[in-house]
Amino acid sequence: MINKKKTENILMKAYGPIILSLFFFLNACVSDKKTEDKKETLVEKENVIEIITKNMEFQIVDKIPSGWNTFRYTNKSTQVHFFLIDKYPEGKTIEDAEKIVAPIFQEGMDLINQGKAEEGYAAFGKLPEWFGEVVFMGGSGMVSPGQTCETIIKLDPGYYILECYVKMANGQFHSNMGMVKELVVTEEKSDVSPPAANIKINISSAKGMVYTDQILKGTNTFSVYYEDQIVHENFVGHDVNLVKLDDNADIEALEKWVNWADPKGLITPSPEGITFLGGVNDMPAGSTGYFTPTLEPGNYALISEVPNASDKNLLKRFTILN
């Protein structure tokens, strides 16, 4: 019999697919050419932390100052990506994860992929207690190929990990292919301050996404305040992803695709007529993150990466007129 409460408590801030793919990254190799590319792009300019993905990697400096930082994420690859920032408990590193956690997630995810979801979730109940202390501190929303987004979040000094767990066409998580990067946040303070937002979103499990401001053509600054954070049915929390909808966009297909627990969820290719423009990834209750897209006239949506987002008021559509 599954101890569901224990499993949910352990996974509250850890989420199955993320960590499984995270701990297999050590087997991925990076070519000499990729290393050279990285050296060319690891530059901090104008108080902006640049992150670039050309294939299955994060090109970013190893250390950044604490406090508020603007992350500019450019997706030069052919697949949808995002970055999520994980805060590990004191003294725990990828070594601990590889030796203790990875085998458990290997077992659990193998069972889920075989259609044995109940047994898979039961396997996650073997995770160590400290695993529940992993905290997701924000990051970008999903970003389509050729797009750049800016996300502003605040980080305290410490040890963090960046990851992306979108899936390849064969079902492999991107973090299993190398999209994981350690990041040290130093005691040095950044010079960045939180921006003034013209669109203020409150997000919660009870009310969904709530905002009353008018979204206009041009550059908008969105703030996202997390009134609470919970584990939804697919063991992830709510977040905000901005989507441009073409005339042929299928909103139901989008809603289904953003749920990783669906066999076709978060898998390449993304639905036709959909362009992801960033957003703010999972954050703890009481946190605020910002993103600053430049929008043209057209149809858009804001959506959370949870099952049945529309039923939870976590899918909002809007139109920008000329």
175 with 203, same domain?
no
Confidence of residue 71 (pLDDT cuts 50, 70, 90): very high
Helix axes 102-113, 117-124, angle to 10 degrees: 170
Any domain includes 144: yes
State the total domains in the chain.
Answer: 2
Flag whether 171 is in a domain: yes
Q: Taking 60 as the threshold, does the pLDDT of residue 28 lie above it?
A: no
Q: Are strands 48-53 and 63-75 parallel, antiparallel or unpaired?
A: parallel
- Of 139, 169, 189, at which residue does a domain stop? 189
User: How many other C-beta atoms are found inside a 10 Å radius of the C-beta of residue 285?
Assistant: 13
CA-CA distance, 272 to 295, in Å (whole number)?
Answer: 20
Report the DSSP pairing between strands 298-303 and 240-245: antiparallel
Q: Cα–Cα distance between 318 and 306 in angstroms, integer?
A: 20
Give the domain CATH number at 146. Answer: 2.60.40.420
Same domain, 11 and 147: yes
Lowest mean pLDDT of 9-23, 121-135, 193-207, name the range: 9-23
Calculated CA dihedral for residues 52, 55, 56, 61, nearest 10 degrees: -20
Q: What would the two tokens of residue 83 be? A: 């970055």
Q: Radius of gyration over alpha carbons of the chain, in Å?
A: 19
Are 217 and 254 part of one and the same domain? yes
158 and 225 part of one domain: no
Q: Please provide residue 125's backbone torsions phi and psi, each rounded to the nearest 5 degrees.
A: -65, -10
Residue 194 lies in a domain: no
pLDDT of 305 strictly over 80: yes
Q: Which of 154, 189, 224 is the last residue of a domain?
A: 189
158 vs 265: CA distance, rounded Å: 32
pLDDT of 155 reads 97
The size of the chain, in residues, is 322
C-alpha–C-alpha distance, residues 4 and 287, integer Å:
28
Number of Cβ within a 10 Å radius of residue 228: 14
What is the per-residue burial (b if ≥16 Cβ within 10 Å, else e) of 39-68? eebeeeeeeebbbbbebbbbbbeeebbbbb
Model confidence at 79: pLDDT above 90: yes
Its pTM stands at 0.83
| Domain match, 96 and 172 both | yes
Question: What is the structure's pLDDT at 74?
Answer: 98
Token pair 């569901």: residue:
4
Return d(Cα 206, Cα 89) in angstroms, integer. Answer: 29
Alpha carbons 285 and 226: distance in angstroms, whole number: 5
pLDDT for 100 equals 67
Task: Tell me the pairing of strands 288-291 and 222-226.
Answer: antiparallel
* Strands 298-303 and 315-320, sheet pairing: antiparallel
Do 16 and 76 lie in one domain? The reply is yes
b/e per residue 185-211 (b: at least 16 CB within 10 A): beeeebebeebebebebbbbbeebbeb
Q: Are residues 297 and 271 in the same domain?
A: yes
Q: Which helix (H) or strand (E) holds 103?
A: helix 102-113
SS (H, E, C) 82-100: CCEEEECCCCCCHHHHHHH
The residue range of the domain holding 220 is: 199-320
Band (34; pLDDT cuts 50, 70, 90): very low
One domain for residues 44 and 173:
yes
Last residue of a domain, one of 128, 154, 189: 189
For residue range 169-206, what is the model confidence (pLDDT) as tens digits?
887 778 878 888 899 999 999 999 999 999 999 999 99
| Distance in angstroms (rounded) separating the CA atoms of residues 173 and 192 | 33
